[in-house]
Chain A
Amino acid sequence: MAQYSSQSDDELLLQLRNGDEQAFAALYRRRQGAIYRFAQHMSGSATAAEDITQEVFLALLREECGYDRERGTLSGYLFGIARKLVLRNLERGRADVPLESETDEVAPRELAVVDDPLAGLTRHEAIEALRRAVQALPRRYREVVVLCDLEELDYADAAVALGCPIGTVRSRMHRARALLLEKLHQDRKPRLALDAWKPMRYAL
């Protein structure tokens, strides 16, 4: 198996197409974690993530898999398949999907949060708070955060996976980070958030 570790994804793909089972295993072991984590972050379900991971790699076995190295890396291509499967999965459970509106695409507001939203938390608490905040993001922002921040894809690969221009990835990242900071800030100051509703209640 060591001989495969130095080979590129494209080389492994070529070998698996020629029936090399070890090449398929090597490629799977190299890429499965990121695909599985992406699917789990996006679907919120370990079971769905398992099915999606399986389907992504089964797609590589099909002759008409459609990967074109000129259009991006194999990693970006695999994420693209995973994303489509996630969307299909979310379509089936539409009731659980936060509704998104066109306003999600408007230019980001100026960031109102000026203090460290994770200050004073232990590392574990900070990670949990962040995990919840990422999970609460609308889907289109969650996917760029998972791809670019958590799985460390560059913007070009993320653009391939998402089927959009790099500029869109960049602007969504900017907006996603602003939303994450707002969410973390709200979670840290629930009393302030509740107080903000009081005048409305009195008005009613």
Chain B
Amino acid sequence: MNCPEFWDHLPQRGEDISEAQKAHLAECATCATQWEPHRALATGLRSLAEEWRQTDAPLRVEAGLMAAFRAQAGFQARRSQSLSWWRPVFAWTAAAAATVALALVLMRSYQPATASPGTVAAPHRTSQPVTQVADVEVDDDSAVFGEGFVRLPNAPRIDPNEDFNVVRVEVSGSAMIEAGISLSEDRAAETVLADVALASDGTPRAVRLVPDGGSY
């Protein structure tokens, strides 16, 4: 092996040179001298990698993603069911189940674990006009979460110093209407894009409809 061959065939991991390359270093002082800083750098980078490898994403990222997955999975289940041959028999049942499942996901931290679907589906604001309540909450929560957000039913107001994440999911129009979002009734059966604000423990706090353009 000559000098150009030595430098042209360096392995990806700098320390892992071949036996032939080691033999070349033993007989070529110039290459051996020039190789030394490369070897030291490779060793240093490995140490940095080992130390750095202990760094992971914060747990709240996983919590937020799991919440998004559950919301998404509910829709996919509804979609596949609606395409099957027994659609005429179970279509309404599946749609209702998906809506309840989504409502459970969106409000799961604010309802008892044993609550019946009927209890979950019943919004606590039924005695007031939905649009009026939604308008008030948009004004209040926009300052905390951002433009267009509506706090979920029974969700406590978020502490201004509390961290929260926003994830984008697909949800049914009916679930958005139940959450207090102003959406026309003829879009209740559609799938719409929504931003869900998740508290640091992964629980959903507020939701907003993503405009057709896809961004705020």
Contacts and interface: CB of A to CB of B under 8 A. Distances in A.
A196 interface: no
Interface stretch (B70-78, B91-99, B140-148, B149-157): B70-78
B90 interface: no
A74 B134 CA distance: 42
Interface residues of B, number: 40
Nearest to A32: B57
A11 interface: no
Interface string A115-128: 11111000100110
Contacts of B13: 152
Contacts of B64: 54
Interface residues of A, number: 48
Main SS class of interface, A: helix
A111 B168 contact: no
B37 A32 contact: no
Interface of B: 12-14, 33-34, 36-38, 40-49, 51-53, 55-58, 61-62, 64-66, 68-70, 72-73, 76-77, 165, 167-168
23 contacts: A19-B76, A29-B62, A32-B61, A36-B61, A40-B55, A49-B57, A50-B57, A54-B61, A54-B64, A58-B167, A61-B69, A111-B37, A115-B37, A118-B44, A123-B47, A127-B48, A127-B51, A130-B44, A131-B48, A149-B45, A150-B45, A150-B52, A177-B38
